[in-house]
Amino acid sequence: MSSSSDTPLRAALAEQGFVVLPGLFTGPALDELRAAAERTTALARSGGWPHIRTVGKQFPPWPSTAPAEGIWGVQHLLHPSLADAGVFARSYFAPAVLAAARDLLACADDDLVLELYNMLVRPGAAFELRWHRDDVSPDLAPDEEARRLDEPAWHAQWNLALWDDDGLVLVPGSHRRARTDVERAAGPYDELPGQISVRLAPGDVAFYNNNILHRGVYDPAKERMTLHGSVGHAAGSRARARNVLQHGVGEWVERCDFSVLTGEGERERAEGMRDRLVALGKESGDVGYSLEG
């Protein structure tokens, strides 16, 4: 629920479950990201990068080799072994992105936790994700589903489009309530009442609650390179651990070098965020997986 103390951005996210910030990246910054995304996508499609999301499988873990239908995502854009990790780091830790995250989480720099940075890409064959909430099982009864949704989100998740993108489909406001009878009875790819496609122009960023009812549509005839990130709040602790660590980020994040971040306080902020994720991994142990399929 929003309140009189909410900022406009926070109130919009609380009410609708998503908010679009237009033109956050433009000019040379956008061009640099596009070039890095093209190189990284080509590397992943050629088999040179094993951290991929494969067509036919929606949730982790994914195989390291792509099927004939190709991939729909590239994992671990901040991995120290990735040639363009520095380019992606500048966008993940960009002051405008983290300012929005702090606003949405109502927190300070010392509360921010590094989480995930991946990329959604054009597959080799048509592929759709089924309706889901990222960290709430579809098998829950309505009262338990509502209870889980009433818990603090403790994250700010976003899509940064590098080309025109309308692949994110969601039901506005559904992060605040359990599914209706119609939604529960619907098929995994059925049109739901009130659903919309979130339309992004290059450089636009859409922040959304990852427990909103949503799915993805991947068109092999339409270019797509959309950076898909999340930042956490330290108070989330184990509530965020499974959602983040299930992707394997804890295996390499300690080796990240953020020397590419040269703005005032940027490197120190990034290292603090990284250190809080490392501490979370050490205290959480084996977290398993949020969803299957």
pLDDT along the chain (293 residues), means of 10: 71 97 98 98 98 94 95 97 98 98 97 95 97 94 96 94 98 98 98 98 97 97 97 83 72 92 96 90 58 52
- By the 10 Å C-beta count (0-12 exposed, 13-18 middle, 19+ buried), 164 is classed as middle
Instruction: Say how far apart CA 268 and CA 247 lie, in whole Å.
Output: 25
Task: For residue 72, give the H/E element and its range.
Answer: strand 71-74
pLDDT of residue 247: 58
pLDDT of residue 251: 85
pLDDT of residue 284: 56
pTM of the predicted protein model: 0.93
Instruction: Say how far apart CA 211 and CA 136 lie, in whole Å.
Output: 7
Whether the upstream peptide bond of residue 61 has omega within 30° of 0, thus cis, is yes
Q: Which CATH code of 2.60.120.620, 3.40.50.2300, 3.40.1010.10, 3.40.50.10490 fits the domain covering 8-284? A: 2.60.120.620
Task: Work out whether strand 112-121 and strand 127-128 pair parallel, antiparallel, or are unpaired.
Answer: unpaired
Instruction: Say how far apart CA 13 and CA 7 lie, in whole Å.
Output: 10
